[in-house]
Structure 1
């Protein structure tokens, strides 16, 4: 399978690329700048996300959007970048898998309260969660794109252990048998490439938590 990872130099992107390569997939690392070496088994495409054309992506079976930005003035890019990619892939056969956020997950069965709006959600993360939530809400309306949105657990652990095990949910925040809602970047990468291979959540959001 041919997989392009946009934002391959980021922490999540690196591990997703590593997981895909370990399974024998042909991977293209899409990066705005060649800031660091990538695995020699991967191809590289040095290009800004907003300069990508469909010709750059047309031969890819799966495009994984691992774009991320955190500075206050750049947060709207979560919305504009996802719209840009969705527009590029409109009415095309390629699949778009998105590294999403947890803030848009619901914390009640009635689906009236999202994690980002719950009392204990940290104020510092609310602007990021709001922008990513708006991006997801717009994506949900797209029936012209073969999208999948993968939300991590509430605690997304960059340097956490790769256990190879996770549990799957859909639109509600998950906790494990310990009552914890967390997932390592490494286990999240496993879930992402499992979805790339198995296509179980076309035009759906799903979420994963460590067992």
Structure 2
């Protein structure tokens, strides 16, 4: 990472082990519709080699998965992505990226189990695909922040316009990010941690 507190700790056989000072581990899910950059974010921010379950997109997805605007996408997550980031010497986040295609959403229940919060990654070119994702999180009463992945050439929406379009209450954080950049993805996770901490004093917001 980009700060001294996020140093890597090499373990046996080159595996990155947790520091002895680690006192808490938190599970976080990274969710979003098909092609919003979940695998990219987990891979960019993880301090260990991320586990991915990507498969090539084949003709079997034609007419099933909405690939409009994603003509260059050749692979997709079919189970989950997994990574880890040490926020500081005491707090470690385990990241679970969910599959985006609706036909794989049945896997979300298991991935959400035990999660403290979520990052909802959205594509500003395809906001309408985020509505069902947000609805599912609201039904589960799982706290989340919304991260707008700024794809090259994507429209720039103001935060108030995004909040209105997504029908989000004023206290849910909305942040811009570039899922390809480690520092930007880290800042999204820090926003989630700050939001989760704020809920300890204002639980009625859940």
TM-score (norm. length: structure 2): 0.40
Which protein has greater RCO, CA pairs closer than 8 Å, 6+ apart?
A: 2
